Amino acid sequence: MTAPAIQIRPERELAPDGLDRLTSLVADDLAEVNRAILARMQSSVPLIPQLASYIVAAGGKRLRPLLTLASARLCAHDGNRHVALATAVEFIHTATLLHDDVVDESERRRGRASANALFGNKPSVLVGDFLFSRAFQLMVEDGSLDVLRILSNASAVIAEGEVLQLATANDLGTDENSYLDVIRAKTAALFEAACEIGGVIADRPVEEIQALATYGANLGIAFQIVDDVLDYSAAQARLGKSIGDDFRDGKVTLPVVLAYARADEATRAWWRRCLEDQDQREGDLERAIDEIRRTHGFRDAILRARTYGEQATAALALFPSSPIRDAMLDVVTFTIEREF
Amino acid sequence: MTAPAIQIRPERELAPDGLDRLTSLVADDLAEVNRAILARMQSSVPLIPQLASYIVAAGGKRLRPLLTLASARLCAHDGNRHVALATAVEFIHTATLLHDDVVDESERRRGRASANALFGNKPSVLVGDFLFSRAFQLMVEDGSLDVLRILSNASAVIAEGEVLQLATANDLGTDENSYLDVIRAKTAALFEAACEIGGVIADRPVEEIQALATYGANLGIAFQIVDDVLDYSAAQARLGKSIGDDFRDGKVTLPVVLAYARADEATRAWWRRCLEDQDQREGDLERAIDEIRRTHGFRDAILRARTYGEQATAALALFPSSPIRDAMLDVVTFTIEREF
């Protein structure tokens, strides 16, 4: 496996993990969220908590619920509503992961067997439905129609994004705008909603709620672009994470969009064979990595992620400096300058 | 194919179709629901309305939204809220159908190719998610937290029932109580909720709302028992509907529970080979039909359905006689005495 020469250096000193500061600032809330996750995935049907705990309690960064907790804290929400709503956000996210893995026929998730690989597709679909319903039950208990509106809208948009992704897969006619449409919907919509509801429950002025939404949406776009770069990253392979999943699935992500646009006709024909005809041979993934690197596809994708990151950062300028705000800015840097 | 000798005669004169009277009484509302279904399945992603219209606009009896319309009318609801909520109920139902067909790997639905067979499993899962989200958007627009609570609870229970059904499949240790737990959850919960919300939006006293819920729950149980009988019915086969799906899937439905309990040891071993080992051979479905008939499994399943039907009927005694109430009583008879 050829290592792609992705050299992204943080522009300022980073904590060992840029999420650490935020995580420690809301540690008590996050512990409550983790307890709520465990409590609310229970069911009289044992397979549900078995499967749900395998995926939901098995780690992950809890990035989306962290954003709800952080936004609520930034807005000086003085109650406890952010905990249940952060739990709802994580349940929606987990439901989409379960369904994604069924749709992608994934065998790995977070460095181990995916739930569908271990339990089968059937319970993965149905437990996803259960967690999605639970999320709405949590919102109903909270009682805010605004929150219900924001998260039901986000859920519909996520599903649209996932279907759009299916439609753009195996289609090298996909351009940067179509790619952005997909990731805005499938990823950024939930980041945006997760942040927005933090401001809503604190009853903040509309411009602050909008600033949180802008922060979340741009962070989400940056996050997904970087995720799509990392799917080709040798450093990920060294960390034991699988790479090349998007390539094998024929997904046309930003690095591929850029490389294809800059390729000569012979190379384009090769890309089409790999991604449109799904005729992939020994060495094709390595060549894809080389082609993307040669055409600066990785570098330019990261540059675009940085642009979205800057917009996320700029949105928080509305709020006075504080430990929580600065930690939310760290999250932007962490998202973009993650381990390659 | 041996015809099972199921002879269920209506005890009173029936309209040609026991749903006709109710359907014609709420015809204007139902036309509005059909328009709302078409309008609200739209999306900027063309595959969504394509697939959704294939399943949702392709017919079916619209039984669940009819129940919402009828209950609202029975309770003299004087607004238009029942239309959007009946649409939400149908979207939840359609989402579960799409996911069920993926889970069951069904190839047929309502006499033609299932959506998953035609469009693939991936969009079926995702369009199900979309319709489910749309249902919640419709409820949020309506603005009743009570309705949101009832339908989010029902959705969670449906998912639990579907998972429980997976757990009882291929298990001839499933008894009548476990079977009832499954169908109460996977089927009756939505019938119950569909009726209950009709009373809620009319702001009726709790005992009337409860009576509607009781009507719906018992009707739903009766409906599913009869559906499970019909899956072995030669008359269904004559109508061009597929039969034997449950048998092939190893589902342990009431006719099988009754036949297995009443079988000798050699026949039990045969049932276990067919449903637990999933080792099915030429003639096994025909033998299953014979075994169930011989042990009065069909007759007694229908008798149980009638008992639930009587409870549904009794619950409506709280309401004075009216055309709409009497049509709702017809629906009970229709549900149980459907074409075998």
pLDDT, one tens digit per residue, over B42-61 is: 999 999 999 999 987 666 78
Whether the complex's predicted ipTM is more than 0.90 is answered with: yes
State the smallest CA–CA distance between residue B45 and chain A in angstroms: 6
Residue B15 in this model has a pLDDT that exceeds 60:
no
Closest-CA residue of chain A to B99: A125
Closest-CA residue of chain B to A46: B164
> What mean pLDDT value characterizes chain B?
91
Per-residue pLDDT tens listing for chain A (340 residues): 444 444 444 333 444 467 889 999 999 999 999 999 999 999 999 999 999 999 876 667 899 999 999 999 999 999 999 999 999 999 999 999 999 988 877 776 666 788 888 888 899 999 999 999 999 999 999 999 999 999 999 999 999 999 999 999 999 999 999 999 999 999 999 999 999 999 999 999 999 999 999 999 999 999 999 999 999 987 777 666 778 999 999 999 999 999 999 999 999 999 999 999 999 999 999 999 999 999 999 999 999 999 999 999 999 999 999 999 999 999 999 999 876 5
Q: Which domains are present in chain B?
A: 20-336 (1.10.600.10)
At A65 the pLDDT is 98
At B339 the pLDDT is 64
Q: Does A136 reach chain B within 8 Å, measured CB to CB?
A: yes
**Contact flag B152-A133 (C-beta cutoff 8 Å):** yes
- Please tell me which residue, A160 or B112, carries the higher pLDDT value: A160
- Residues B121 and B285: their CA atoms lie apart, in Å, by 27
HEC letters along chain A: CCCCCCCCCCCCCCCCCCCHHHHHHCHHHHHHHHHHHHHHCCCCCCHHHHHHHHHHCCCCCCHHHHHHHHHHHHCCCCCCHHHHHHHHHHHHHHHHHHHHHHHHCCCEECCEECHHHHHCHHHHHHHHHHHHHHHHHHHHHHCCHHHHHHHHHHHHHHHHHHHHHHHHCCCCCCCHHHHHHHHHHHHHHHHHHHHHHHHHHCCCCHHHHHHHHHHHHHHHHHHHHHHHHHCCCHHHHHCCCCCCHHHHHCCCCHHHHHHHHCCCHHHHHHHHHHHHCCCCCCCHHHHHHHHHHHCCHHHHHHHHHHHHHHHHHHHHHHCCCCHHHHHHHHHHHHHHCCCC
CB atoms within 10 A of CB B264: 8
What residues contact B20, with CB distance under 8 A and at least 6 apart?
none
Percentage of chain B beyond pLDDT 90 is 80
At A104 the pLDDT is 79
Q: Does A132 reach chain B within 8 Å, measured CB to CB?
A: yes
**Contact flag B162-A136 (C-beta cutoff 8 Å):** no
CB atoms within 10 A of CB B1: 11
Chain A residues lying within 8 Å of B123, measured CB to CB: 163, 166
Q: Does A156 reach chain B within 8 Å, measured CB to CB?
A: yes
Residue B317 in this model has a pLDDT that exceeds 50:
yes
- Residues A173 and A208: their CA atoms lie apart, in Å, by 39
- Residues A228 and A188: their CA atoms lie apart, in Å, by 14
Residue B300 in this model has a pLDDT that exceeds 60:
yes
**Contact flag B48-A163 (C-beta cutoff 8 Å):** yes
Q: Does A255 reach chain B within 8 Å, measured CB to CB?
A: no
| The total number of residues written for chain A in this structure | 340
At residue B104 the predicted structure's pLDDT band, cuts being 50, 70 and 90, is confident
**Contact flag A160-B121 (C-beta cutoff 8 Å):** no
pLDDT, one tens digit per residue, over B180-219 is: 999 999 999 999 999 999 999 999 999 999 999 999 999 9
Chain B residues lying within 8 Å of A134, measured CB to CB: 156
At B56 the pLDDT is 77
At residue B1 the predicted structure's pLDDT band, cuts being 50, 70 and 90, is very low
In this structure, are residues B183 and B224 in contact, taking their beta carbons and an 8 Å threshold? Answer: yes
- Residues A150 and A159: their CA atoms lie apart, in Å, by 15
Q: In this structure, what token pair is assigned to residue A12?
A: 């300022």
**Contact flag B126-A99 (C-beta cutoff 8 Å):** yes
Residue B170 in this model has a pLDDT that exceeds 60:
yes
Half-sphere exposure of A235 (CA within 13 A, CB side): 12
Identity of the residue in A43, A125, A163 whose CB atom sits nearest the CB atom of B45: A163
Closest-CA residue of chain B to A164: B45
Q: Mean pLDDT over residues B114-142, rounded?
A: 94
At A21 the pLDDT is 92
State the smallest CA–CA distance between residue A261 and chain B in angstroms: 24
Residue B111 in this model has a pLDDT that exceeds 80:
no
The phi and psi torsions of B157 (rounded to 5 degrees) equal -65, -40
At A63 the pLDDT is 95
- Residues B296 and B303: their CA atoms lie apart, in Å, by 10
Q: Is B15 exposed, middle or buried (0-12, 13-18, 19+ CB in 10 A)?
A: middle
Task: Return the residue in A136, A182, A249 with the most chain B beta carbons within 10 A, the one to mutate for interface testing.
Answer: A136
Q: Does B42 reach chain A within 8 Å, measured CB to CB?
A: no
